[in-house]
Chains A and B, each alone.
Chain A
Amino acid sequence: MKRFLPLIIFACLCVFLVIGLQLNPKEIPSPLIGKSAPQFTQPILDQVNQEFSPEQMRGKVWLLNVWASWCFSCRAEHPLLNELAKQQTIPIIGLNYKDQDDAAKEWLAKMGNPYQLSVIDRSGNVGINYGVYGVPETFLINSQGVIVHKFTGPLTPALIQKELLPMLAKLKQSI
């Protein structure tokens, strides 16, 4: 029996590897889920001398979408955000992450602007508090200012249909 031990251990390992292949390691839950969205007060893109803080959105369910003009995958999800904005599904606030104002403005002019407003985070400090590790990322925040969900990477039609909209429906019911 003893000589079969390595084989048995290896077989168990294979089972885990097979299951592991079905999983997506990139799907990382944020430790911020269920916690209050970190506070900040930052200037707003294209609106001189105005500032935004998440406090202003209290009472509303909203999305905080982290984007940048240099981000390639942001282009992929941008039409979806435009669509959400057009349908007035949910207010979207942009967090313009480590970007240059001019480049950002130009990008929005070209791609369409789905955001109620975009907050400027040139140094990336807000991003650090939100645990942003790649752009784009999208946070769903409820009326009490608590982060309900985090989407890492670009949104897709499937994610919106299967995850975002059902969550939104549930949040609206509970109000």
Chain B
Amino acid sequence: MIPEIGHIALITAFVVALLQCGLSLWGAHTQQVRLMAIAKPAAFAHFLMILLAFACLISAFMNNDFSVLNVAENSNASLPMIYRICASWGSHEGSILLWALMLSGWGLAVACFSKNLPSYVLARTLGVMGFISSGTLLFTIATSNPFLRILPAALNGRDLNPLLQDPGMIIHPPMLYMGYVGTSVVFSLAIAALLSGKLDSSWARWSRPWITTAWCFLTLGIALGSAWAYYELGWGGWWFWDPVENASFIPWLLGTALIHSLAVTEKRGGFKMWTALLAILTFSMSLLGTFLVRSGVITSVHAFATDPTRGIFILVFLAILIGGSLTLFALRAPRASVGESFDTVSRDSMLLANNILLLVAAFTVLLGTLYPLILDALGLGKISVGQPYFNAVFIPLMAPALFLMGVGPITKWRSVKPIELATQLRWALAITVITSIISALTMRSWTASIGFGLLIASWIVVSTINNLIARLRLHPQGFFTGFKIQTMSYFGMVIAHLGVAVFVFGVTMVTGFEEEKDLRMQAGSTSELAGYQLRFDGVKEVSGSNYTAAQGQITISKNGQVLTIMQPEKRKYFSSEMLMTEAAIYSKVSGDIYISMAEPVSMTEWGVKVQYKPFVSWIWAGAFLIALGGFFAILDKKYRSKPLSLVKEAS
């Protein structure tokens, strides 16, 4: 019964979404206040219906209702409760429903936090979101219904993919989806602005907190995904340039560009067309990412069940939505959108450079992801594009952007004398160069790329702090007053930029100094890695609720002092007979020891892979700081105060 309620709720949600789209867009077009007023309650009802459907799905999973196909295929009676709940979004059907739930959740948030929005903007924004949602819901109902029954019911389920049975899996997809779907808000705002022909600074001010919030979720989602791959895949990599990873990284790059160009649009009225285009592209890439992952046009380590009819459906939806919005953009974007003019050396030009670099980077990643598909479509053979391509094109593109990160924030809007800029930066430059020279002299196995990475990281840190101190000290009423009057957005920027430096440092150290050994070990064998002593004490048989495992016992000591016992496992899950490597990680701020069990080589010996990953956790710490910076920016008071025009009207 419960799955049927879920099914009905889904259909109701679809109808409500259609009404939300049609009535509010028509109302805004014909300026009928009563029609426009429907947008808000519709968004509310629409969210509740999808929430109900999702709750029904979770309950089917919790109660082991194996008469539901989706449950039978993705769960198992022996699966722990928490993973049964997570399994509801571990499958294709469930994850699409989660997508729809989040989309309606963002719609609800727009409806709730829209006091500053004129009613016609609100109606159009919610109308566009209703359109996106109705497409998603139709897709769910027609091709990926999570509530389909099987007769007779299965006795037990096939089980959730063991790779997904991990705490990271509980929060990674919802975070990532929040980010993906959140970009639909700025998209809808941009479409609403294009429809009403008003691309102005108030549009930019409304958009900023929304894209920043979505971007924070996206940042955290990507970081969690990377951490999950590191912990769970068992080979110690943290980024693979896998198509599915790229699909989340492209919108992140575009979102980053959008955040920066919105600053120009809001403060200086410039880059309007550009900003609108970026808003459209960011969401388009999120959708395209969904298409790539869900249609099976490209192969990936994320082996989802794929189905060509789903691919065609999403493609048609993409063509209508993206094609339609780009057509609207081409027809309605303001003819002459030049804001105030600016010089070659100015904050405007720095941000323009940042935007171009990020956009080009996003497209090189997109090209690398689609290149195998394009060649195959042209009949030119099958190839795969991997790490070498991405590293070769991506790093050179990012390097100047990272350099500008130090210069941009201290540059004045419109125009600044290069000599003035140089004077401000002379200390930062000097300190950076000195640190780099010291590091080159003191580090063993120093290479040019390590030196370059460290140079960039220290440059960002020193110039950002330099800028912070200068801002505080220059204030006439002293240091502390200077501190108090800085906006939250400014602190957000400082934190996010420092986060980038921490990230770059982590990446440089880990790629430059990681060590790796493949060992044959039997009880009593010892080895050394990065100054630690390892002793293998044999293998124990252990069992979990739905698997058995061979668990290696490895004692780690340094200078004769025992630090910890690491227990990497080779797990065998009952239901799928799949062998899984569960790595053991001994984590410190200065680096991780990462041990995974390979195969038994003889009766007494095991193959063991031991790795040392210096400063690897800094990569995720950096990403966390970047997201934290974003959250600071959202807290800025200016987004909650009334827009200037309304204040004027009131006075």
Contact = CB atoms under 8 A, between A and B. Distances in A.
Interface of A: 3-4, 6-7, 10-11, 13-14, 16-21, 23, 25-29, 70, 123-124
Interface string B250-280: 0000000000000000000000010001001
B416 interface: no
A89 B323 CA distance: 54
A10 B315 CA distance: 12
Contact of A7 (B295, B297, B311, B327): B327
A16 B281 CA distance: 18
A21 B577 contact: no
Contacts of B277: 6
8 contacts: A7-B330, A14-B319, A17-B291, A19-B377, A20-B297, A20-B298, A23-B373, A25-B296
B621 interface: no
Given A14-B319, A21-B308, A28-B382, A4 B330 contact: yes
Contacts of A21: 295, 297, 308, 311-312, 315
Would you list the 5 A-B pairs with minimal beta carbon distance, nearest first? A19-B377, A7-B326, A20-B297, A25-B299, A3-B330
Nearest to A11: B323
Contacts of A3: 273, 329-330, 333
A62 B372 CA distance: 32
B298 A25 contact: yes
Interface in B270-311: 273, 277, 280-281, 284, 291, 295-299, 308, 311
A102 B323 CA distance: 59
B322 interface: yes
Given A14-B318, A20-B297, A20-B377, A7 B323 contact: yes
Contacts of B385: none
Q: Do most interface residues of chain B lie in helix, strand or loop, or is the interface mixed?
A: helix
B193 to A, nearest CB: 16
A29 B382 CA distance: 8
Given A10-B326, A25-B298, A16 B377 contact: yes
A70 B575 CA distance: 12
Nearest to B381: A29
Nearest to A27: B382
A121 B377 CA distance: 37
A20 B323 contact: no
A7 B333 CA distance: 13
Contact of A23 (B291, B319, B329, B376): B376
B599 interface: yes
A25 B330 contact: no
B73 to A, nearest CB: 14
Nearest to B315: A17
A10 B323 contact: yes
B370 interface: yes
A110 to B, nearest CB: 16
B148 interface: no
A4 B327 CA distance: 7
A172 B309 CA distance: 40
Contact of A16 (B296, B318, B370, B601): B370
A3 B312 CA distance: 28
B374 interface: yes
Given A7-B326, A70-B577, A14 B315 contact: yes
A173 B327 CA distance: 59
Given A6-B326, A17-B315, A20-B373, 18 more contacts: A3-B329, A3-B330, A7-B323, A7-B326, A7-B330, A10-B284, A16-B370, A16-B373, A17-B297, A17-B373, A20-B298, A20-B376, A21-B311, A21-B312, A21-B315, A25-B297, A25-B372, A25-B376
Nearest to B572: A70
Contacts of A10: 284, 322-323, 326
Most buried by B among A13, A29, A70, A123: A13
Interface string B377-402: 10000100000000000000000000
B319 A6 contact: no
B336 to A, nearest CB: 12
A120 to B, nearest CB: 15
A3 B318 CA distance: 20
A119 to B, nearest CB: 18
A6 B363 CA distance: 12
A15 to B, nearest CB: 8
B318 A23 contact: no
Contacts of A14: 315, 318-319, 323
A100 B598 CA distance: 17
A26 B299 contact: yes
Most buried by A among B284, B308, B373: B373
A150 to B, nearest CB: 13
Contacts of A13: 370
Contacts of B329: 3, 6-7
Interface in B312-349: 312, 315, 318-319, 322-323, 326-327, 329-330, 333
Contacts of A11: 323
Contacts of B297: 17, 20-21, 23, 25
B374 to A, nearest CB: 5
A4 B273 CA distance: 12
A127 to B, nearest CB: 12
Contacts of B318: 14
B276 to A, nearest CB: 11
Contacts of A29: 382
Interface in B562-598: 577
B159 to A, nearest CB: 13
Nearest to A1: B330
A123 B598 CA distance: 11
A16 B374 contact: yes
Contacts of B370: 13, 16
Interface string B341-378: 00000000000000000000000000000101110110
A6 B277 CA distance: 9
Most buried by B among A3, A14, A23, A25: A25
A124 B601 CA distance: 11
Contacts of B599: 123-124
B632 to A, nearest CB: 33
B638 to A, nearest CB: 31
Contact of A18 (B284, B315, B372, B382): B315
